[in-house]
Amino acid sequence: MPDPVPTAPRPRSNLWFESRYRKLQRGLPQTVFFCPKCKGDRRRKHDCPECKGFGKLTRESVQELIARRLVPAFGAKYGVFHGAGREDIDVLMLGRGRPFVFEVQGARNPDVDLEALRAEIVQRAAGQIELAPFVRVPRARVAYWKETHFDKVYRAEVACERMPTAAAIAAAAGFAGTVVQRTPQRVAHRRADLDRPRRLQVLALAPSGESTLELRVLCQHGTYVKEWISGDEGRTTPSLAGLLDVPSRCTVLDVEEIMTDDVPGPRLPAAPAEA
Ligand SMILES: [Zn+2]
């Protein structure tokens, strides 16, 4: 009997899978929400007063809910989540969901039942996220989603200091045009302080309570919707609050749809030049 041929360890490879996530729970960040004080550093987090040794500020993220099952399924140790943009932590991601590519680094086992894996991730996520079927894609899809920008439809609840006049609501409901947004204070620490023109079109605006309005708005990529609603102390003009002539703020915000090429629906007219 000849000796059995020694089996070489299976080669490792990198794999890319595309899907779209719907985020159905507020307070869930897209990626790991590291503690701003210790940055999740293994040694520094131990006596960090900010996160009490946890290293991050939320238990879960979309990234972790996916990576936790997906990475081991491929016999890999590492994965990278590449989202096509991101929504704020308190904003739901509805409609067909936000595209992303999940990169599996060093996969030893490429033969995975993607549909069973997706079902398991969604089931374990217990209502926090839903996923479109995974499709294996070439690496170039990461750059495509990073570099391509899409209009978005948002749904917002707007709290007004008092109910605006019917005429003001009607005028604001017909707004379509360009607004100029100076970098909001809340992101000024990581974005250059600039005036950015952004196109948007109000799709619907109607009273929803004693002094509240429900808004649907189609926005160019990069629009700060909360700031457009409030005016951000004069940093965004014109603003919804300005059009209504009543101090107003966004209390609830959802991304209703990201208008990727395959999604039917309204589009903003092409702009002469983009900032
Ligand atoms: Zn910390």
Classify residue 154 by burial, with Cβ atoms within 10 Å: 0-12, 13-18, 19+.
buried
Q: What's the rounded mean pLDDT across residues 9-34?
A: 94
CA of 188 to the centre of ligand 1 (A): 22
CA of 17 to the centre of ligand 1 (A): 32
Distance CA(187)–CA(184), nearest Å, equals 6
pLDDT for 30: 97
CATH topology of domain 152-258: Alpha-Beta Plaits (3.30.70)
Report the sign of the C-alpha dihedral through residues 264, 31, 70, 59, in that order: negative
**72 backbone dihedrals φ, ψ, rounded to 5°:** -65, -30
Distance CA(135)–CA(102), nearest Å, equals 10
Q: For 143-183, write each residue's pLDDT tens digit.
A: 999 999 999 999 999 999 999 999 999 999 999 999 999 99
CA of 187 to the centre of ligand 1 (A): 21
Q: For 112-149, write each residue's pLDDT tens digit.
A: 999 999 999 999 999 999 999 999 999 999 999 999 99
Q: Residue type at 227?
A: E
Higher per-residue confidence, 42 vs 275: 42
How confident is residue 275, by pLDDT bands cut at 50, 70 and 90?
A: very low
**Percent over 70 (pLDDT), the chain:** 95
Q: What's the rounded mean pLDDT across residues 230-254?
A: 97
How does 208-229 read in b/e, with b if 16+ C-beta sit within 10 Å? Answer: eeeeebebbbbbbbebbbbbbb
> How does strand 195-207 pair with strand 13-23?
unpaired
Tokens of 177: 């045009």
| pLDDT surpassing 70 at residue 97 | yes
Domain boundaries, the chain: 13-147, 152-258
Q: What's the rounded mean pLDDT across residues 221-232?
A: 96
Tokens of 139: 């690496």
- In this structure, are residues 72 and 63 in contact, taking their beta carbons and an 8 Å threshold? no
Give bridge partners of residue 229 from the DSSP assignment.
none
CB count, 10 Å around CB of 84?
Answer: 22
pTM: 0.91
The length of the chain, given as a count of residues: 275
pLDDT for 187: 86
Spelled out in words, what is the top-level CATH class assigned to the domain 13-147? alpha beta
CA of 145 to the centre of ligand 1 (A): 31
Q: For 44-71, write each residue's pLDDT tens digit.
A: 999 999 999 999 999 899 999 999 999 9
The verdict on whether 88 is a catalytic residue reads: yes
- Active-site annotation holder among 88, 90, 193, 254: 88
The mean pLDDT of the chain is 94
Report the sign of the C-alpha dihedral through residues 151, 195, 146, 39, in that order: negative
pLDDT for 18: 98
